[in-house]
Chain A
Amino acid sequence: MKLGRPRRRTPPETIIALIDVVFFLLIFFMLVGRMDASAPFDVLPPTAQSGADMPGGGVTVSVSADGALALEGGVMARVGVLKRLAERLDGAPDTLVRLNADRGAPLRHVLPLAAEIEALGAHEVVLVLTPGLP
């Protein structure tokens, strides 16, 4: 007679461990990521080492390498950008205005824009950089 060994029951995987891992991943990505409206065109910020940490909040104006402008993710003409910024800055001049310019963008598209935004009453206009060697 053949005696069959009793088959061991495989222990069920605990689903709790999976939930823990997913929770950790969720919190990690929430903390590490930055929820910004990304520009509709490619913008690669210039690299430099002398920048300071950038706080959250504020308005982002993106400038592409060929001078196209976008405000909070939407392509817009220069007049439109300045008009919308004037509305945002009216009553809240402390709003941080970030100029996210492509590293290849000519300065004639960036510096006059910064001056015009300052003329709208913005107290703080900053240029976005990525840390690293130029």
Chain B
Amino acid sequence: MRISRPTGPRAAISLVAMIDVLMILLVFFMVTSTYLDLDMVPLAGAEAPGGGAGGDAPVERVLVRLSADGGAFLRGQPLDPEVLRRELEREPALDILVLPSGQASVQALAGLMDVLVGAGAQRLRIVRLEAQP
């Protein structure tokens, strides 16, 4: 005769342990992640403004100077986006060179690029400073 053992009640899998792990993962991702919405503009390399542009045809160039206090100047006058917009309507392939002062802030350059792109600039180059003043 075969004696079968009485089967005991099946041990329930505890969900509490799983919730603990989930909570730890949740807290980990909340704490270690950054939630800033970040964008980018090319600064150097093949996709940089004017990078890799060939000088096939003589193009008109205009120099925009960015002063140390963040002011932008076009031909000695404070930059007026409307003036630039009219020039770009006349010559859409206008080559805009930005000459930033080394003392100007990154925000000033980003703001100026916004203004220039807003005025319709397509060819934008930054004249890089080679040596530290």
Contacts and interface: CB of A to CB of B under 8 A. Distances in A.
A57 to B, nearest CB: 12
A45 B105 CA distance: 11
Interface residues of A, number: 54
A37 to B, nearest CB: 10
A106 B67 CA distance: 12
Contacts of A23: 22
Contacts, number: 171
B23 A22 contact: yes
Nearest to B113: A50
A118 B33 CA distance: 29
Interface string A77-102: 00000000000000000000011011
Interface in A1-55: 15-16, 18-19, 22-23, 25-26, 29-30, 32-36, 38, 45-54
Contacts of A104: 105-107
Contact of B43 (A29, A36, A52, A127): A127
Given A19-B15, A22-B22, A22-B23, A54 B44 contact: no
B41 A50 contact: yes
Interface in A115-133: 115, 117-118, 122-131
A44 B29 CA distance: 22
B114 interface: yes
Interface string B92-133: 000000001111111111110110011000000010111111
A107 B111 CA distance: 13
B74 to A, nearest CB: 18
B18 interface: yes
B29 A33 contact: yes
Interface stretch (B2-10, B45-53, B78-86): B45-53
Given A15-B15, A46-B111, A134-B107, 14 more contacts: A26-B22, A32-B33, A33-B34, A102-B106, A106-B104, A107-B105, A108-B133, A112-B131, A114-B43, A125-B45, A127-B106, A128-B40, A130-B36, A131-B39
